[in-house]
Structure 1
Amino acid sequence: MKSLILSIAFSAILFFPPGLATNDSGSGSGRYSRCRCLPADSCWPKPSEWASFNASVSGSLIAVKPVASPCHDPAFDQAACEDAKANYTLSVWRGSFPGGYQQVNFETSAVTNETCYIDTPRSSPCGQGNVPVYAVAATSPTQIQNAVGFARDKNLRLVIKNSGHDYLGRSAGRGSLQIWTHNMNNIEFSGNFTPEGCKWKKSEEAVTIGAGVQLKLLYSALKDKGKTAVIGLANTVGAAGGYIQGGGHSPLGPWKGMASDNAYQFTIVTADGKHVTANECQNSDLFWALRGGGGGTFGVVTSATIRTFPDSTAIVSNFNATIPDRDQFYSFIADFHGFLPKLSDAGGSGYYYIFYETNSIIVGAFFVGQSNPNATEALFAPLLQKARGYPNSQVDWTQLPSFPISVGIDMSLTGTDVTASNSLLSSRLISRKFLESADGPKKLCDVFKTLGPNQNTVFIGHIVAGGQVARNECLDSAINPSWRKALIHLVFARGWETSTPFQEQAIIARNMTDVETPILAALEPDMGAYMNEADLNERRWQEVFWGEEIYDRLLSIKAKWDAEELFMCKPCVGSENWDAESICRK
C-alpha cells in the first residue's frame, strides 16, 4: 500500500593498530593493507583461487552484472533485454538479481565514470559501476562463513545484500564480493519460543525467519497462521536484514513498537567466521547493537526471531484533498499537522504525501485493533469540513471495512512497487511536542514552502511513531533515541535523469546535504533521522542517526566483534575511518 514515490563525512584521526601497514599507492597484498584488493590489483585472487572458493561454497559463486547489461554489447541478448525493459521498474524483479538495486544510482560509479542504463543505445558502454563483481548465492550459514573467511583472507571489499531495498546503497560496492542472502527463505513458527540460554524467560509466540525472507512471503505465512508481526509495508523489504537492524518502522509501530523492539534473537556470522547466537542472555552486547545499530556492520545475520501476535482487525481511511489556492493549501497543511497528535491518540498511524506542484495531499490512515468505522470517520470530520470549505477544493474520503491485518497487507503487496529511480533521500524525525506547540505546524509549513519549488517536491510523512514506540523508551537498544519522542518521520527526495552527468549529480546531492537538509533539521536541532531512510551524505551522521552516547557504545562493540573492520559501509559504525567507497582507510 505504501511506496516511496521518489525513490557525500566526519574525518577522524586514524589509529593504526600494531602491525598495520599503510600503502598510499593503493591496494596492498595483505590483510593489514590500507586498501581493499580490487580486480585490477595484483593481490586480486587468481582464477584458480576463485575456483577453489566456489567449490567451498557448493558452486554458489555468481559473476554479477548490472540488470541492464543484456541490452548492451557485447552481452546483448534480445529476449533478456525485452524482459529487462518490461520489468525494469518493478522492485521484486530488480530484487531477484544480485546486481539489481532499488535505485539505479547505486549501480553506477562516479569514481570510474561507469553506468549501465536501460534507456541508452545498445552500443553505449555498460560498466560494472558499483555492482559487485561476484556474489555468493548463500543458502546456508556455512556458505556465508566460507565467504567471510575468503574475503577476510584475501582483503576483499565485502557487502551484504538481500533485495537491494536500501535508500543508502549500503549493499552495493565497487570491486566487491557480495553475500547474497536472497534465497534463505526459511520460516519457522513457535508457540513457546525461549531465547537460547534464557532459562528465566517465559515462552513467547514467535517466528524465526531466514535472512532472505521478504515481506510478501512473511505476511502470507502469518496470515495462514492467524498471526501478525511488526514488519514493514513494501514488497522487497527483507525483515531480518538492514530493516530490523536499523530499527524498522511500521504502521503497526504505534500499536506494538518498533520492529527492533520486538526482536528476541539473532543468529549471525561474525568477522572471525563464527556462527553465533545473540540475545539477552548470550552475546548481549551484539544483540543490543543489532537492534538499531544498522545492517552490514557487525556481521551477516542469518536469521532473526521476532515476536508474533494474534492477528487483529484494522481499518484503513483514505483522505485526498486538492486546494487550488496555495496560501489556503498551506494553511490546511498546518491544520493537518496540528491534527496528527489527535490521530495518534485515537490509535491512528499511516502515511501521507504532500505534492507541491498540485497543492494536493493524500493520506492513508491505519487504525490497528479497531473495527468501528464510525469512530474514525468522526475523528476526521472536522478536518474534512475544513478542507471542503475552501473555494474550488476537491476532497475525497473513503474507508474500507475492517479486515484482519495480515490478510489485508498480504493482499496489498502485489509485487508492483515502482523503483529504478536515480535519487537520494533526506529526512528528519518530528516530535509530538513540536506538532503540539503553538507555532510548530506553521514552521513546518514554512519549510514546505521553501523546499517545495525545487523539483516540485513530494514530502512523504510516515505516521509510525508515538504510542507504543514512545512507551518503549526504557527499552535498552541501539535505536536512535529520537524515535521515542517522535510522532512522524518526514522524507523528501532529490533525483535526476540518466542523461545527467556525474558532476551535476554531485551538485544536486551537495545542495540537498548542505542547504536543504539543514533547513528541515533546524526545526528541531536535537531530533535526529531514521538511518534507513536518510541523506547518505549527512554531515553529522553519527549524532543524527544515534547520538553521541549510543554511537560511542556502538564503536566499542564494533571494535570487539570486527577489529579489522571487515564489514564496512557508508554511513555505518566506524566508517569515518574509511573513504566514501569503504575501500581505503583514511
Structure 2
Amino acid sequence: MAAPCYSDSPYYNVSACDVVENNYNDSIPRGSYYGETYWLNWETCGTSGCSLLSPNPEETLFKSCSLGRLASYYVDVRNASHISAALKFVQAHNIRISIKNTGHDYFGRSSVPNSLAIWTHNLKSLDFHQNFTAFNCPSANGQNVGEMGAGVVAGDAYRFYSSHGMDVTGGYEQSVGIAGGFGQGGGVGSYTTSYGLMVDNAVEFEVVTADGEVRIINECNDPELFWAMRGGGGGTYAVLTKYRHQVYPSVPIHTYNFVASFPSSGSANNTENQALREIMAMHASSQIEWSAQLVTGQVDYVLNGASFGVVLPYGDDGSKLKAATAAFAEFVGNRTDIIVVQNNYTSYPTYADYLAVTAVDAKKTEPAGIYSILAARLIPRDVFATPENVDALVDAIVDGMVKASTLLNFTALQVELETPVTNLDSKQETSAHPAWRNSLWNVIHVGEWDEPLSPAAHENATTGFLEILDPLKKLSPGGGAYVNEAHYGEPDWQETFFGSNYDRLLEIKNKYDPSHVFDCWKCVGWRGEQE
C-alpha cells in the first residue's frame, strides 16, 4: 500500500502517495491490499518492510521498501477453482502456503514469508435464503440462512442482512472478515450472549480441502470436518470459500455508555489505583446479573480511566438494559473522585444504524497501521460468585495493568462481555474451546507502539505480557483463551486454545490434511518453527 511513498520503489508516485497517506490508518482500505495487515507486526520484520509512520503518515517508516515478512507471491482468488489449482501446484513443487483474508490477525498466521499466499479477500458474494435447502442434508434445512463469500467483511454483512430485516452474529470491528478466521475460530460480537458464537450459527460450508477437492460440508456431509471448522481455527483444515449461517430478525440496539477519568488513579504505583479498583470491582460484581439479562459489549480500562460500551440487542425501548445497569450507573454517577464525561443510554433502530458509532470507537480503541500485542484469558463464572474471588480478579488485572505500563508506552485492558451464555453447546456440536461455555469475561491486556522496537525491548515486552497472565491463569485452572485473541507466545497453546477438543481436532486434521499442507502458527497440528 505504501510503496508509492518510497522513492526507491518502482511504484513511487507522489499523487498516489497522497491517497495512501489519507487512508493509511483506515482498516477498510488497508484490507483491500494483499500487502497490508491490520497491525504492522505481521507485515514488517524488524527494520524491514514498506510502511508509513502511523502518527505522521507523510513519513516512511523504513529506509527502503521491501517485502518484510509478507509472502513472496499471492493468488488473487476469485473462485474455488483458483484455490484448487494453487493447492495442487504447491504440493507438486513442495512450496509452503499461507492463507490471508483481511489481515485482521493478532498471530501473524495470515502473513508468512517465503510462501505462496492464497488471498480470499475478493470472494465477496452475499445471499439470503428465507427458506434454505442444505446440500444432501434435510436435517440442516431451515429458515433465515445467510450466505457469505470468504472475503466479506463485517460492515458489508451487517448492511446487507439489515436490508433483509436480519441480523448476523458478526464481530465488533467492521473490517473483520467474519467468514475467515473469525467464523472458524469462534467469533464473538454484540449478539453472542443472545445467539451464541459465530460457529454456533454455522449451517454449511463450501471449502477446498488439501487434495484440491471442492466440498460442501455440513452435519451430514463430512461431519467431522464440519465440526472441526466450527471452532478449530482458520487456515488449518481447508480453505473456506462460502459460509452459510443462521441469521435473525432485526431488533433495536440499546447501549449504556460510561466514560470517565480517574485523576487519583493515574500512577503506575498499584497502591494508588483506588477508583479503578472499585469501579472494576462493581463491574465484576454486576456481571452475573448482566449476563442473565444478556447484556454484552466491551469495556476499556486504563490506569486513569474507563470507557464502557455496554450493549443489549432487544426488542423494547431500552428499559431492560436500563434496569440491568441502573445500580452500576448510580454507583459511578455518585462518585466525587472521578471526572464523568458520559453516563447515559442511547438506542438505535438497527445494528446497521449503530455501525457509525462502532466505526468511530474502533479507530480509537483498535487503530490500524500500528504495532500491537495481546495477552488474554477467559474468566469463568465462579470467579464472579463471591466478593473474595472478585477482589482476587481485580488485583490480578490491575497488577497486570501496572506491570504492562512499564513495558510499553501505551497499554490498556479490554473486557469483552461477549460470551455465549445462552448457548452452552451441551451436545458438543462445535469444536470451540469448552471454556467459552462457562466464561463471563474475556480479559485482554493490550499493548501498542508506533515504530519497531529494539530486539531487546521487543523480547522484554513479549515476555512481560506473557507473565502478567499468570495470576489470571491461577484464577481459571483448566481454562483457556480465545484462539483469535491471545498471546502469540503462549507456551501451553494446545490446552489454552483448544482444551479437551485438541486430540480429536488433531485426528481430523491428519485425516483431511495428512501431509500438513495447511500449517499455521500454533494451529491444530502445528509442527513448530523449524518445520
The answer, yes or no, to whether TM exceeds 0.5 is yes
**Partner residue of 2:270?**
none
Candidates 142, 161, 164, aligned match of 1:225:
164
Task: Give, as a single letter, the amino acid of the residue that structure 2 aligns with 1:463.
Answer: L
Question: How far 1:537 sits from its partner (Å)?
Answer: 0.8
1:350 matched to 2:297: yes
Query: Unmatched 5+ residue regions in structure 2?
Result: 54-58, 265-272
Distance in 1 of aligned mates of 2:194 and 2:61? 51
**Partner residue of 1:336?**
283
* CA displacement 1:108-136 (0-9 Å, x = unmatched): 225xx623331365881323121111111
**Partner residue of 1:438?**
387
Cα distance change, pair 229–117 in 1 and its aligned pair in 2 (3 A):
closer
Work out whether residues 388 and 394 of structure 1, in 8 Å CA contact, stay in contact via their aligned partners in 2: no
Cα distance change, pair 216–121 in 1 and its aligned pair in 2 (3 A):
closer
Distance in 2 of aligned mates of 1:191 and 1:393? 50
Cα distance change, pair 83–561 in 1 and its aligned pair in 2 (3 A):
same
Question: How far 1:402 sits from its partner (Å)?
Answer: 4.8
1:136 matched to 2:88: no
Question: How far 1:100 sits from its partner (Å)?
Answer: 0.4
**Partner residue of 1:4?**
none
Work out whether residues 108 and 128 of structure 1, in 8 Å CA contact, stay in contact via their aligned partners in 2: yes
* CA displacement 1:135-193 (0-9 Å, x = unmatched): 11111101111111112212222111111111111110111111111111111111121
**Partner residue of 1:79?**
15
**Partner residue of 1:365?**
310
Candidates 536, 551, 572, aligned match of 2:523:
572
**Partner residue of 1:68?**
2
Distance in 1 of aligned mates of 2:233 and 2:373? 18
Candidates 16, 35, 42, aligned match of 1:106:
42
Q: Within 5 A, what are the aligned runs for 1:8-407? A: 67-75=1-9, 76-110=12-46, 114-119=48-53, 124-325=63-264, 326-356=273-303, 358=304, 360-395=305-340, 396-407=342-353
Question: How far 1:274 sits from its partner (Å)?
Answer: 0.5
Question: How far 1:405 sits from its partner (Å)?
Answer: 3.2
* CA displacement 1:380-431 (0-9 Å, x = unmatched): 2322332234333223322113522344347754796621121211100111
Work out whether residues 335 and 441 of structure 1, in 8 Å CA contact, stay in contact via their aligned partners in 2: no
Cα distance change, pair 156–265 in 1 and its aligned pair in 2 (3 A):
same
Distance in 1 of aligned mates of 2:32 and 2:78? 15
Distance in 2 of aligned mates of 1:200 and 1:371? 33
The more displaced of 442-451 and 399-408 is 399-408
User: Normalization by structure 2: what TM-score?
Assistant: 0.91
Work out whether residues 167 and 351 of structure 2, in 8 Å CA contact, stay in contact via their aligned partners in 1: yes
* CA displacement 1:187-215 (0-9 Å, x = unmatched): 11111213211124443220111111111
Cα distance change, pair 202–574 in 1 and its aligned pair in 2 (3 A):
closer
Distance in 2 of aligned mates of 1:82 and 1:501? 30
Task: Give, as a single letter, the amino acid of the residue that structure 2 aligns with 1:73.
Answer: S
**Partner residue of 2:427?**
474
Distance in 2 of aligned mates of 1:507 and 1:447? 20
Candidates 439, 446, 459, aligned match of 1:493:
446
Distance in 2 of aligned mates of 1:301 and 1:384? 44
Distance in 1 of aligned mates of 2:517 and 2:356? 37
Candidates 514, 519, 528, aligned match of 1:563:
514
Work out whether residues 315 and 370 of structure 1, in 8 Å CA contact, stay in contact via their aligned partners in 2: no
Distance in 2 of aligned mates of 1:479 and 1:352? 23
User: Normalization by structure 1: what TM-score?
Assistant: 0.83
Distance in 1 of aligned mates of 2:211 and 2:60? 45
Cα distance change, pair 285–410 in 1 and its aligned pair in 2 (3 A):
farther
RMSD (Å) for aligned C-alpha atoms: 2.0
Distance in 2 of aligned mates of 1:499 and 1:258? 35
* CA displacement 1:55-88 (0-9 Å, x = unmatched): xxxxxxxxxxxx3332223213222322222222
**Partner residue of 1:554?**
505
Task: Give, as a single letter, the amino acid of the residue that structure 1 aligns with 2:433.
Answer: N
**Partner residue of 1:3?**
none
Question: How far 1:466 sits from its partner (Å)?
Answer: 4.5
Cα distance change, pair 534–494 in 1 and its aligned pair in 2 (3 A):
same
Matched residue SS, 2:440: strand
Distance in 2 of aligned mates of 1:323 and 1:554? 46
Task: Give, as a single letter, the amino acid of the residue that structure 2 aligns with 1:542.
Answer: Q
Distance in 2 of aligned mates of 1:418 and 1:512? 20
1:526 matched to 2:487: no
Work out whether residues 542 and 551 of structure 1, in 8 Å CA contact, stay in contact via their aligned partners in 2: yes
Distance in 2 of aligned mates of 1:293 and 1:275? 20
Distance in 2 of aligned mates of 1:252 and 1:353? 19
Cα distance change, pair 84–503 in 1 and its aligned pair in 2 (3 A):
farther
Distance in 1 of aligned mates of 2:236 and 2:368? 25
Report the structure number with the largest CA radius of gyration: 1
* CA displacement 1:219-262 (0-9 Å, x = unmatched): 11111111112111211111211001001111101111111000
The alignment-based identity, stated in percent, is: 28
Distance in 2 of aligned mates of 1:477 and 1:402? 32
Question: How far 1:448 sits from its partner (Å)?
Answer: 2.7
Matched residue SS, 1:457: strand
Query: Unmatched 5+ residue regions in structure 1?
Result: 1-66
Task: Give, as a single letter, the amino acid of the residue that structure 1 aligns with 2:380.
Answer: S
Cα distance change, pair 508–138 in 1 and its aligned pair in 2 (3 A):
same
1:506 matched to 2:459: yes
**Partner residue of 1:16?**
none
Distance in 2 of aligned mates of 1:540 and 1:559? 21
